[in-house]
């Protein structure tokens, strides 16, 4: 039996009902439209990118009662793609400064890859609910310790990936890379203020406990763990290896749509949307 693709898994029945009711309310055969949205990229792009769909998603305070977080973020990503196609530059934050970067062509080229856009929608949706886990790890023969880790904490995820069996490492590699992309894209200010003093820009002294990472270090770690995820056999089974390869090679471009969404569509709502924010935000 063939495994369902990322496209087939990403929309619920409620999502399809919402899309058709907003984008094609007078459709004579709504079930046919729903099938086409699942099967054909052009139909999906047209309906999810519809202006009425975007406006409803932005203005409805109870939108998450009607659609999944994945569809919500796909709508925002498709709108950001439209905006970036006509933009002259993207913006990077360096402390309190906005720096224009003339890289929109690279960002648009990456985001027009359908599987990349869908993956980013799933990535953003995954951060609306953060989980903590407790598991046992083998210290040495006959001795196992219980370890608690959080799937938003890069440090604990890295430590965990070094202790579990190979088949369990894929999910951890993927999550570590996703966290790096999410933080550097949605909360770029955090990477600066956590790493440097806001006024002087000087590096903060190292302390015990959680490691501080600069934006460049998040990018480096993200690339490294997307590479590890890409090489894992599970990536081939799930048809995710090509997506991981693109994110590894174009990590900086991949975080730009996330930054665009956070700045233009989420504003202060991002603290409400993402159940567990990064420390200090």
**In 10 A of CB 49, how many CB atoms?**
17
| Cα dihedral value 237, 124, 109, 247, nearest 10 | -50
Dihedral of CA 67/115/176/169: which sign?
positive
**Is the distance from CB of 244 to CB of 230 less than 8 angstroms?**
yes
Sketch the domain layout of the chain as residue ranges.
Answer: 6-101, 132-273
What mean pLDDT is reported for the chain? 84
CB within 8 A of 29, min separation 6: which ones?
none
| Maximum CA extent, the chain | 67
Q: Count how many Cα atoms sit within 13 Å of the Cα of residue 44 in the half-sphere of its side chain.
A: 18
Report the predicted TM-score, pTM, of the whole model to 2 decimal places: 0.86
d(CA 281, CA 273): 13
Give ∠ CA 271-221-231 in degrees, rounded to 5. 115
- What token pair was written down for 13? 């029945």
**What is the 3-state composition of the chain as percent helix, strand, coil, each rounded to the nearest 5?**
60, 10, 30
pLDDT in tens, 104-160: 999 999 999 989 999 999 999 999 986 666 666 565 666 666 666 678 889 889 988
Dihedral of CA 169/175/180/181: which sign?
positive
**In the predicted model, what is the mean pLDDT of residues 195-217?**
53
At 181, is the secondary structure helix, strand, or coil? helix
pLDDT in tens, 47-90: 999 999 999 999 998 999 999 999 999 999 999 999 999 999 99
Cα separations in angstroms, 62 against 25, 57, 129, 143, 182: 20, 9, 17, 50, 24
pLDDT in tens, 246-255: 999 999 999 9
**In 10 A of CB 31, how many CB atoms?**
10
- What token pair was written down for 280? 């200090």
**In the predicted model, what is the mean pLDDT of residues 188-196?**
59
- In this prediction, residue 91 carries a pLDDT of 84
| Cα dihedral value 183, 188, 194, 196, nearest 10 | 150
- In this prediction, residue 151 carries a pLDDT of 80
Task: Give the total residue count for the chain.
Answer: 281
More confident residue, 188 or 117: 117
Bridge partners of residue 134, in order along the sequence: 148
Q: Rg of the Cα trace of the chain?
A: 20
Among 37-46, 148-157, 240-249, the range with the most confident prediction by mean pLDDT is 240-249
- In this prediction, residue 163 carries a pLDDT of 81
Give the confidence band of 209 by pLDDT, cuts at 50, 70, 90.
very low
- What token pair was written down for 61? 């305070």
**Is the distance from CB of 161 to CB of 133 less than 8 angstroms?**
no
């Amino acid at each position: 039996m063939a495994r369902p693709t990322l496209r087939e898994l990403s929309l619920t029945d409620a999502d399809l009902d919402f899309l058709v009711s907003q984008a094609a309310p007078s459709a004579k055969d709504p079930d046919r439209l729903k099938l086409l949205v699942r099967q054909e990229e052009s139909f999906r792009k047209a309906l999810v990118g519809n202006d009425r769909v975007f406006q409803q998603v932005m203005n409805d305070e109870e939108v998450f009662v009607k659609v999944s977080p994945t569809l919500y973020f796909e709508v925002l990503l498709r709108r950001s793609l439209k905006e970036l196609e006509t933009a002259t530059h993207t913006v990077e934050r360096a402390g309190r400064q906005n720096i224009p970067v003339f890289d929109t062509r690279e960002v648009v080229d990456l985001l027009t890859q359908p599987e990349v856009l869908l993956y980013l929608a799933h990535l953003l949706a995954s951060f609306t609910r953060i989980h903590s886990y407790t598991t046992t790890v083998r210290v040495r023969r006959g001795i196992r310790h219980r370890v608690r880790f959080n799937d938003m904490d890069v440090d604990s995820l890295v430590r965990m990936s070094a202790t579990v069996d190979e088949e369990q490492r894929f999910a951890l590699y993927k999550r570590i890379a996703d966290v790096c992309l999410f933080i550097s894209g949605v909360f770029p200010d955090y990477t600066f203020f956590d790493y440097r003093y806001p006024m002087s820009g000087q590096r903060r002294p190292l302390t015990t406990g959680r490691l501080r990472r600069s934006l460049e270090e998040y990018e480096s770690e993200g690339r490294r763990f997307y590479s590890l995820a890409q090489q894992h056999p599970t990536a081939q089974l799930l048809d995710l290896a090509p997506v991981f390869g693109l994110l590894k090679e174009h990590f900086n471009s991949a975080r730009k749509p996330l930054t665009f969404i956070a700045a233009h569509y989420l504003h202060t709502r991002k603290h409400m949307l993402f159940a567990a924010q990064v420390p200090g935000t």
